[in-house]
Amino acid sequence: MNNTGRTDAKAVNQGVAPVTYGTGDRPPRGDYASARSDFTCDQFWERYTAQDHDLYRRLYERQAAQLPGLACDEFIEAVQHLGDPRRIPRFDELSAALTKATRWQIVAVPGLIPEEAFFALLAQRKFPVTGWLRSPDEFDYVVEPDVFHDLFGHVPLLFNPLFADYMQAYGAGGLKASRLQACEYLARLYWYTVEFGLIHTPAGLRAYGAGILSSAAELRYSVTSPEPQRLGFDLTRIMRTRYKIDSYQASYFVIDSFRQLIAATAPDFAPYYRQVAVAPELAPDARVATDRKL
């Protein structure tokens, strides 16, 4: 799940898909009529076909094979919690294990949901996971987050106590950002950490972002390609930086540790938002003098 879902009205499900930006002319997939007012719905696990389970297994195996040397240890350790890769997990079973580990839950949603609804769920330590799985012709690339991206990309690190707390803090911060009209700045932080974050480790650069970890080709690209720029984590710089949703990232931001990420995001963001609002926006591939290039 990413939080590019956007709506102007109060974030209450009214049976129609939220308006999203940047995703093209096709409306979001998913049956919003089946969702509750907070946008959660049933997983409808029985509706997955044998072909769905098989596609999930192939996606899982392709990604799992790539993790050594590219994913951070915290992710590799946690990915086993997803259980038997031969079937799409039942969210309620996974949720029970997650609640034991970090007091988080997994809830099903029809697809992308509005920002406010998304923030509200995270603030309650509920992670929204899309019910539907991509089709076989989307094996290599899917535009919107599906159940594979949401589960494989996001759920493992929710078993990590530090990262679990970061995600809740992000949700609470999102509710505040909505009141301050700063959602776009906060969405960029999500994008460049939760979705596309890289981390320094003693063994070298590794990925912790869900968008990278669930991607067939960007995982290796983000960690090893000489093409993109990799910059040291810089909170307000990130808040100013636009991102691409339809290609590999031109810039990745690298944290030294989850503790650094949590410490850097602990202060009240209100003064940062005011600062960023009057600073020029930066293109995805921009370079600025204060960048720490790695």
By beta carbon distance, the residue nearest Fe ion is 2
Residue 169 or residue 254: which is nearer to ligand PHE going by CB?
Answer: 169
Residues that bind ligand PHE (CB under 6 A): 166, 169-170, 173, 176, 189, 265-269
Catalytic residue among 74, 195, 200, 222: 195
Residue 82 or residue 255: which is nearer to ligand PHE going by CB?
Answer: 255
Answer yes or no: 227 catalytic. Answer: no
2 binds Fe ion (CB under 5 A): yes
Catalytic residue among 95, 115, 149, 200: 149
Query: What is the DSSP track for 42-80?
Result: ---GGG--HHHHHHHHHHHHHHHHH-TTTB-HHHHHHGG
Q: Which does 176 bind (CB under 5 to 8 A by kind): Fe ion, ligand PHE, none?
A: ligand PHE
Answer yes or no: 195 catalytic. Answer: yes
210 binds Fe ion (CB under 5 A): yes
Answer yes or no: 37 catalytic. Answer: no
By beta carbon distance, the residue nearest ligand PHE is 173
**Contact present, 221 and 209 (Cβ < 8 Å):** no
Helix (H, G, I), strand (E, B) or coil at 167: helix
- Contacts made by residues 48-51, CB under 8 angstroms, sequence distance 24+: 48/87, 48/88, 48/133, 51/136
Burial, 214: exposed, middle or buried (Cβ in 10 Å; 0-12, 13-18, 19+)?
A: buried
**Choices 2-10, 62-70, 225-233, 251-259 (CB under 5 A): range interacting with Fe ion:** 2-10
Q: Which does 210 bind (CB under 5 to 8 A by kind): ligand PHE, Fe ion, none?
A: Fe ion
Answer yes or no: 200 catalytic. Answer: no
Active site residues: 149, 154, 195, 214
